Each structure stands twice: as structure tokens, then as C-alpha cells.
Amino acid sequence: MAKLILLRHGQSQWNLENRFTGWVDVPLTEQGIEEAREAGRRIKAAGLRIDVAYTSVLRRAIDTLTVCLEEAGITDVPVTRDPALNERMYGDLQGLNKDETAAKFGAEQVKLWRRSYDIRPPGGESLKDTAERVLPYFFDRILPELKAGRNVLISAHGNSLRAIVMHLDRMSEADVLELNIPHCVPIIYEFDAEGNVIDKYEL
């Protein structure tokens, strides 16, 4: 029985500043580093083996993975970085303050840009667009590892992970509107040898 551990990166500088981040490569805050350490402690306490890890090419996800694995005492895991796992691209909203953007365009419009399945922010990607690059990578690279019985840790982003969770939990486009992935809370899926989900829980 293989396990998939999904981990959203710790707090970034622009999370702290309440800005749309997307593909802008901002660092973790001190709180974000501590959140990554705590995730590592939880993984260690649960006795989870990690056989292989995947992350985006953005430093907040890479650093979260590095800190988490170090804290868990896991130092010999092969790590693959790929832009397929990057956060969704927020286009013209990147760098803007979320509250100021809501005041300008309306809270409901900004919620649709942030949470809906197929509505793109200006110049950016929708969750549907994000899923169309994340899920083929998941099926081609990650699912075979799980079917082979290997435990996989993915350190990525709120929306790239929302795309995976939407698929695994068979969520509707309406359901995903309310889905939020918390920072650095390990979400565990257990798979059988055919690649079917048989359990889900958080650490």
C-alpha cells in the first residue's frame, strides 16, 4: 500500500503581504520555514517512509521540501523539480494586494478568479488550465511510482495541489470553489496496487 503525501509550501513573503504570487519566485518567511519544520516533525512522528519526492521549480516549494525532509531525518530521497507542478500563473494580478484588488473589481469577481474552475484572471491561468498541465504529469510520472508501491511526497502550491485533490476526491467544479489547501499540513492518500485511493487523512 503506497502513500502520496501532498504538502503545500509554507508561508511565503507575498502570502504574508497578502499579494497574488503565481509564478513570481518569492522566498519563505521565517514562519514558513517553521511550518515546513513542523511538517517534517509530523512525518517523522508518523513513521512515514518517503521513497521519492517531486516539487515545482519555485523556491518556496523547493525550500519547504528541503526543510521538511531535513527535519524528518530523510536525506537520501531522489527529488525531481518540474514546472508542471508550479502554482497557477496569475497574470496581471501577480504582485497586487488581494484586498485592494477586491476593492477595485469586487469581492465576488476576485473570488471567482481565485477559486473557480474555468475563469481566468486577466492574462493568467484558470484552475482548469493548471490542471491541464499538472494532471498529465501526475498520471505519467507520479501514479506509476504509487502503483509500484513507492511512497511519494509532492511539495507544491495551493492551486497545483487543488488540481490533484479535485481529481483524487472526484470533486465537481462547484465543490472546488470552496477547496483551500492549508500551508504545510501533510495530506495523505493511500493507494492500492491498481492506483485506486483507499484512504485519505491529514497529519
Please identify every residue annotated as catalytic: 9, 87
Q: Are strands 2-8 and 52-55 parallel, antiparallel or unpaired?
A: unpaired
Q: What type of residue is 60?
A: R
3-state secondary structure of 4: strand
Cell 502554482 sits on residue: 87
Measured CA to CA, the distance from residue 94 to residue 97 in angstroms comes to 9
The side-by-side arrangement of strands in the sheet containing 187-191 is 79-81, 52-55, 152-156, 2-8, 187-191, 197-202
Measured CA to CA, the distance from residue 153 to residue 150 in angstroms comes to 10
Measured CA to CA, the distance from residue 109 to residue 46 in angstroms comes to 41
